[in-house]
Structure 1
């Protein structure tokens, strides 16, 4: 029997695994609009920026290996948005369908609920997004809108769907 999913705070030792998971989505998919995979140093900088803001940067382990990661970042930089965050969840391709994404999103929601976040926003690229949309909707996110043709990647225009979860 496989070990259960374990969620914990990311550490610098997780950077290589995070890089590998993210590089898959950057190069072969449209879940992110980034077009070049970031370096290990850039991932470390991003982890530091998120955690310095008092927000969660989590990894999930499965069978002893990092199987996914997730974090919340400020939605916008202007002070009036300080109680609103955007979540990001990425699961290793070989761990899809094993509860990793749900465990990570549950961890983000729990953390943000404890630190006074009032709104969590998910920006989901609508192409091949059924899993991400279902994941968020099952946890109380509601559709908040669609942005049409806002990204161009892999020779096609892409829409994003905005979802929102309120903590009040």
Structure 2
């Protein structure tokens, strides 16, 4: 057929078209972490240990280490939350831990948030971190510090900023991973004036 003889096909009427399969909506629930969640939490964290610079750890964390950390956070009365899919898979987690062991810092914590690779970019991070902030406020925490890698963590910095964290400092070349020097961005949120 010659190009000038070609007639563009008209689309089928809507009632004759095959339905386009709809992707299931991304859904989750946020709840307090329990000890049974720790293998999934470890798997999420260790993904970032081996594949990114958002954590400066370079060796995967053991389940025993996670259990110790979980027990310490729980005894301190601090929040540790997970996001769970309807099928029961852990999609991500967030927690706070003491900023320092010195008694004068007892109302100040550092937060962490990690999403499983399949949950990234789907809008889970902000509600998960917001839930953590609400729980931290209820626990009597006054100040939250976020120490974020200065490379490869732009989304985390933006999310913290969106929830009211302010940048309070930067340190350059304080971490070394994957044969390169890395710095940190420190952000802080005061919960004492928030209702």
TM-score category of the 2 structures, normalised to the smaller one: over 0.9
The structure with more strand, counted as a fraction of residues: 1
The equivalent residue for 1:166 is 190
Stretch of structure 1 that moved more, 94-103 or 105-114: 94-103
CA distance in 2, matches of 1:113, 1:12: 23
Helix, strand or coil: the match of 1:54? coil
2:17 aligns to what? Answer: none
Q: TM-score, normalised by structure 1?
A: 0.96
Report runs of 4+ in structure 1 exceeding 4 Å deviation: none
Corresponding residue of 1:102: 126
Which residues of 2 match residues 105-116 of structure 1 at below 5 A? 105-116=129-140
Question: What per-residue deviation string (whole Å, max 9, x for no partner) do you get for residues 94-113 of structure 1?
Answer: 10012221122111100111
Larger radius of gyration: 2
Which residue of the other structure, out of 52, 71, 74, is the alignment partner of 1:29?
52
Hey, what's the Cα distance between the residues in 2 that align with 1:69 and 1:22?
Answer: 9
Written as runs of structure 1 = structure 2, the 5 A alignment for 1:83-102 is 83-102=107-126
CA distance in 2, matches of 1:62, 1:140: 27
- Higher RCO, Cα 8 Å, sep 6+: 1
Q: Deviation of residue 3 (structure 1)? A: 5.0
* 1:2 CA displacement: 2.6
CA-to-partner distance for each residue in 1:16-44, whole Å, 9 max, x for gaps?
11111111100111111111111112111
* Structure 2 length-normalised TM: 0.83
Equivalence for 2:160: 136
Give the distance between the partners of 1:2 and 1:11, measured in 2 at CA: 26
Q: How big is each residue's C-alpha offset from its partner over 1:98-139, in whole Å with a ceiling of 9 and x where there is no partner?
A: 222112211110011112111100000011111100110010
1:10 to 2:33 alignment? yes
How large is the RMSD of aligned CA atoms in angstroms?
1.1
What is the count of residue pairs matched by the alignment? 168
The answer to whether 1:146 aligns with 2:167 is no
Deviation at 1:56, TM superposition (A): 0.7
What is the alpha-carbon distance in structure 1 between the residues aligned to residue 42 and residue 137 of structure 2? 28
Is the 8 Å Cα contact of residues 174 and 183 (structure 2) preserved in structure 1?
yes
3-state DSSP class of the match of 1:146?
strand
1:126 counterpart (138, 150, 161) = 150
**Which one of the candidate residues 29, 37, 42 is aligned to 2:65?**
42
1:5 to partner: Cα distance: 2.3
